[in-house]
Chain A
Amino acid sequence: MIHLDRDRGMVEAAQHDPAAFDALYRRYLAQVYSLAYYELGDHHAAEDATERTFLSALANLARFEERARPADGDGASTFKVWLFQIARNSIASQRRTTRRTATAPLEAATTAVHPLDVERDAVAREEAAAAWQAVDRLPADRRRALVLRFVDEMTTAEIAGVLGRSEGAVRVLIHRGLRSVARDLTGRGEGRGHGGATTG
């Protein structure tokens, strides 16, 4: 088996010296937190889930085995997939104790984009809110796949690893999710190009 994990050096350092886990923590903190925030819709619940994720990862790091394949590409990280599997479980556990509130991410997503241009800022806020609402209305598996793809910028293979599905199934999930979002935005009269959205 050829090892391609891009986090290999940091993972080995952390397995040898647990204090070195800090580098992995800093690298993935925002991604894990973002997934938790989009999933749970609450700042404090997302922090709790993030905390549980990293503590659990540190505690079990010695058991982690790198399993990157050549087909995963140069940027593959099985550690990242492993970490997000833990995050997914932590979020599921957190959700059992926290009622999901879909409105919270809207507040964060609609912070001032153009602070000097009030009108543009208002439009940007409205569009961001519409996009998030369209995603939020999706079934959980499609929403999760889209967040992992667009927010965490994972590859299809990585998402498949996190969600425990085949790559083909993930591609279909994302495609159907995007079609649903497109229908939702079109229904709001937003079907035409937006904010520099070059159609290519």
Chain B
Amino acid sequence: MTATRDTNDVEALVTDRYLESLLATRGDATAGAAAFGWEGGDLDRGVRLASLRLRRDLPRFHPSFRFEERLALRLAEAAAAMYVARAVGSEGVPVPIGRGRVTDLADLVDVSALADPDGPAAPSPAASRGDDDGGAEGALRRHARPILIGGAVASAAISIAGAAIVAWRRSHHPVSPMARAARAAHALRLVQPRQAGVERPD
């Protein structure tokens, strides 16, 4: 029993060595053997042929360009959302405003569902934050859109200042020569038809 197992292990090692040489040279078995100084003479002929066949006949597939770019865009959006999360964590306070666009990666991928007890540690970001409460409130919180308080205040201040500028401009006539000329031309155009006795068509 042990001898059989040892034999299997040795054969597996020989196969592994052969595959190293085969795959290192992209399927060119002769070049691979030359590079490693070994031609797989001890290897079972059937295993050797099967290796060559699989090396040749199992292609690597590439997804469509459309899918590639769509996923790249989604990853870029997720990366931007991570930036926002970092900024919120260091300088501001996240404020939930209704149900908005998903910005938390925990909403995109249920990482906890992917976790493998034998695999790498991949806990849910939501769980690590203590947001493991369920129900509608938890769902709403998970889908809340974080904003920067400072950014919101600054935005409001800019809007108020803009409104004030518009109001001031409407109540004050410009004093530049060009503005005066434009105003005079505008007034003249309003008066001219009556002076010429031309009736405006109804």
Residue in A25, A34, A182, A192 whose Cβ sees the most chain B Cβ within 10 Å: A182
Q: Is the CB of A181 within 8 A of B53?
A: yes
Q: Taking the complex as formed, is A174 at the interface, i.e. its CB lies under 8 A from any CB of chain B?
A: yes
B140 at the A/B interface (Cβ < 8 Å)?
Answer: no
Interface residues of A in 147-200 (CB under 8 A from B): 147, 149-153, 155-156, 164, 168, 171-172, 174-175, 178-179, 181-183, 185-186, 190-200
For B106, list chain A residues within 8 Å (CB). 59
The chain A residue with its CB closest to the CB of B29 is: A198
Whether the pair B105, A59 counts as a contact (CB closer than 8 A) is: yes
Residues of A close to B141: CB separation below 8 A: none
- Chain A residues whose CB sits within 8 angstroms of the CB of B28 once the complex forms: 198
Across the interface, do A127 and B53 meet the contact criterion of CB distance under 8 Å?
A: yes
Q: Considering the complex, which residues of chain B in the window 13-53 have a beta carbon less than 8 Å from any beta carbon of chain A? A: 13, 15-16, 19-20, 23, 28-30, 33, 39-41, 44-53
Partner of A18, one of B30, B74, B78: B78
User: Across the interface, do B52 and A197 meet the contact criterion of CB distance under 8 Å?
Assistant: yes
B187 within 8 A of A: no
Q: Is the CB of B49 within 8 A of A197?
A: yes
The complex places the Cα of A112 from the Cα of B76 at a distance, in Å, of: 35
Interface secondary structure of A, over-half rule: helix
- Choice from A18, A132, A172, A196 contacting B58 with Cβ under 8 Å: A132
State whether the Cβ of A85 lies closer than 8 Å to any Cβ in chain B: yes
Any A CB within 8 A of the CB of B59? yes
Residue numbers in B under 8 Å from A105 (CB-CB): 61
Which label, helix, strand, loop or mixed, suits the secondary structure of the B interface?
Answer: helix
Mark B104-134 against chain A: 1 for CB-CB distance below 8 A, else 0: 0110110101111011111101000000000
Least CB distance from A88 to B in Å reads 7
Q: Does B67 belong to the interface (CB within 8 Å)?
A: yes
Number of interface residues of B (CB under 8 A): 65
- Asked if B91 is at the interface (CB within 8 A of a chain A CB), the reply is no
Q: Which A residues are within 8 Å of any B CB, using their own CB?
A: 17-19, 21-22, 25-26, 29-31, 33-34, 37-38, 46-47, 50-52, 54-56, 58-60, 63-64, 82, 85-86, 88-90, 93, 105, 108-109, 127-128, 131-132, 134-135, 146-147, 149-153, 155-156, 164, 168, 171-172, 174-175, 178-179, 181-183, 185-186, 190-200
Pairs A–B under 8 Å by Cβ, sample size 30: A18-B82, A25-B75, A33-B61, A34-B62, A50-B71, A55-B74, A55-B75, A55-B78, A58-B78, A58-B82, A59-B109, A63-B122, A64-B120, A86-B114, A86-B120, A86-B122, A88-B119, A90-B114, A93-B113, A149-B23, A175-B12, A175-B16, A179-B47, A185-B49, A190-B53, A192-B49, A193-B49, A197-B29, A197-B56, A200-B41
